[in-house]
């Protein structure tokens, strides 16, 4: 009498049917994923892709606000007018200057604060809350507070300068051609450094303590441990922080609108303010749309650069 091993036939499961195709459970999960994703996709299309495509279309026309003239296609005229405008070039230059100063200074300060509040100190959570608290303040409120601090007559800063210099040092901070933009930089760094600090702090807490212990055993100095362990391990958080800060720097608007409106002599004018002035104050909505498209392309370029750096790190 002989026995033969019977090989089991295909067994239908909740994941796959007998023919190997996805079963009902898998289809339900796929449908659930689509259902959860759909609202976000719809919102992105309505409030991001849709307005951008409308702005792109308007930027090639002669559209004006409240104008009886018919809209006509003008090609690249709005872009040519924008780039040849002295006001726009100055606004773009102010954005670049603002970014070149704020990004490295704010990132360095955030790194220093993150290292400070990462120590095992008594009451360190209180210090974290103090340093982070300006972030939760609405920008217009923060700008209004600093507008009072910068007041030439009753401002706290001029009061301190006058006291320590016996009345010889005072400044009209926001009306000075040389100090207006740096004053906004100081206020912006104060308001935003806490956010970057939290991101870097999270990165610091992910670094294994074994690396520092091994380096200390090998005789590495604190500076060497910082240079060869801390900074390389924080590469991705620092790239993220730098990119977000650059994007926010180009989006600079609220504090300028509240504190200076671009004065004095356009020395604090920036791209977002220029877009509002051209599109609504001058009622040239087509040129304002061209500025919006240029701004979008700048932000997109910065995002692609960030993705390139992060991709190289993963590879």
Q: What is the pLDDT of residues 126-164, one digit of tens each?
A: 989 999 999 999 999 999 999 999 998 888 888 888 888
* CATH code assigned at 246: 1.10.3720.10
Contacting residues for 89 by C-beta, under 8 A, at least 6 apart: 83
Structural domain for 198, as ranges? 77-314
In whole numbers, what is the pLDDT of the chain averaged over residues? 87
CA 289 to chain CA mean position, Å: 21
Q: Would you state the pLDDT for residue 22? A: 53
Domain-located, residue 226: yes
At residue 73, φ and ψ (nearest 5 deg) are -80, 130
Contacting residues for 276 by C-beta, under 8 A, at least 6 apart: 253, 257, 288
Q: What is the pLDDT of residues 293-302, one digit of tens each?
A: 999 998 888 7
Q: Would you state the pLDDT for residue 1? A: 46
Alpha-carbon distance of 242 to 103, in angstroms, equals 6
pLDDT band at 20 (very low <50, low <70, confident <90, very high): low
Would the pLDDT of 36 be above 50? yes
- Between 225 and 8, where is the model more confident? 225
pLDDT band at 278 (very low <50, low <70, confident <90, very high): very high
Q: What is the pLDDT of residues 237-268, one digit of tens each?
A: 998 898 889 888 988 999 999 999 998 989 99
Beta carbons within 10 angstroms of residue 46's beta carbon:
10
Q: Would you state the pLDDT for residue 306? A: 73
- Between 169 and 77, where is the model more confident? 77
Domain-located, residue 3: no
Q: What is the DSSP secondary structure assignment for residue 75, as one 8-state letter?
A: T
Domain-located, residue 7: no
Alpha-carbon distance of 130 to 134, in angstroms, equals 8
Task: Look at the chain and report how many structural domains it folds into.
Answer: 1
Percentage with pLDDT > 70 across the chain: 90
Domain-located, residue 5: no
Domain-located, residue 20: no
At residue 189, φ and ψ (nearest 5 deg) are -65, -45
Domain-located, residue 36: no
Domain-located, residue 48: no
Contacting residues for 182 by C-beta, under 8 A, at least 6 apart: 101
Domain-located, residue 278: yes
């Amino acid at each position: 009498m002989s026995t033969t091993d019977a090989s089991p036939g295909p067994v239908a499961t909740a994941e796959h049917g007998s023919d190997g195709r996805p079963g009902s459970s898998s289809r339900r999960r796929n449908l659930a994923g689509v259902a959860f994703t759909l609202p976000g996709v719809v919102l992105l299309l309505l409030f991001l892709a849709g307005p951008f495509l409308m702005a792109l279309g308007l930027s090639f026309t002669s559209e004006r606000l409240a104008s009886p003239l018919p809209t006509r296609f003008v090609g690249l005229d709005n872009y040519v007018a924008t780039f040849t405008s002295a006001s726009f070039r100055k606004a773009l230059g102010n954005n670049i200057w603002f970014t070149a100063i704020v990004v490295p200074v704010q990132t360095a300060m955030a790194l220093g604060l993150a290292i400070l509040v990462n120590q095992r100190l008594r009451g360190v959570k209180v210090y974290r809350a103090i340093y982070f608290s300006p972030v939760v303040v609405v920008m217009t409120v923060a700008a209004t507070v600093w507008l009072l601090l910068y007041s030439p007559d009753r401002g706290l800063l001029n009061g301190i300068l006058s006291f320590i210099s016996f009345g010889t040092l005072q400044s009209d901070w926001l009306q000075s051609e040389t100090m207006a933009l740096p004053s906004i930089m100081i206020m912006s760094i104060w308001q935003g450094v806490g956010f970057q600090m939290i991101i870097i702090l999270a990165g610091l807490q992910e670094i294994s303590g074994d690396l520092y212990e091994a380096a200390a055993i090998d005789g590495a100095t604190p500076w060497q441990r910082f240079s060869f362990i801390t900074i390389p391990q924080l590469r991705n958080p620092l790239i993220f922080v730098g990119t977000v800060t650059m994007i926010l720097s180009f989006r600079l608007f609220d504090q300028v609108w509240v504190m200076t409106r671009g004065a004095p002599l356009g020395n604090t004018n920036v791209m977002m303010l220029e877009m509002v002035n051209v599109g609504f104050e001058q009622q040239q909505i087509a040129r304002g749309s061209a500025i919006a498209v240029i701004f979008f392309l700048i932000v997109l370029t910065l995002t692609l650069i960030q993705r390139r750096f992060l991709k190289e790190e993963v590879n």
